[in-house]
Amino acid sequence: MSEVRTRDKILKIERRLLRALCGGAASRSERLGILRRLAAYHWRHPEHQVVFEVLHKLKNASPETVRANLAAELTRKGFPDLDVAVYVVSGETPEEDWLGLVQLLVNSERVAP
């Protein structure tokens, strides 16, 4: 049961970070730090991995450009049916310690496969 809750928590953190990257909640420097630190991270959800790969590709783009191009980039990668609305919510994600959340994910890899 604890493993399920831990996995759910990790998936929620992954989603929050991806939304921050897409929606512009993280500053440019935070965004670049998140992308750099998670470049080698093993994403627990395959959809999150694909979205991250696109975001990494668009790392120098503005949040507006990311939101405008996310669906097209996912389609080019072979994932036309992903619901990008989950990630491109602008202004909804409150300011957080994004790098602290990144550290939680990185640490989670040390204890769980």
Q: What is the mean pLDDT of residues 77-97?
A: 80
The stretch 40-50 carries a mean pLDDT of 95
For residues 1 and 48, which has the higher predicted lDDT (pLDDT)? 48
In the chain, what is the straight-line distance between the N-terminal and C-terminal CA atoms, in Å? 16
Residue type, 20: A
Distances 61 to 9, 49, 55, 71, 91 between C-alpha atoms, Å: 29, 19, 9, 15, 17
pLDDT at 1 over 80: no
How crowded is residue 28: how many other Cβ atoms within 10 Å of its Cβ?
A: 12
pLDDT-derived band at 109 (thresholds 50, 70, 90) equals confident
Tell me: pLDDT of 21 over 70. Answer: yes
pLDDT (mean) for 83-102: 78
pTM to 2 decimal places:
0.87
90-96 CB contacts, 8 Å cutoff, 24+ apart = 90/23, 90/24, 90/63, 91/23, 91/24, 91/25, 92/19, 92/23, 93/16, 93/19, 93/20, 93/23, 93/25, 94/25, 95/25, 96/16, 96/20, 96/25
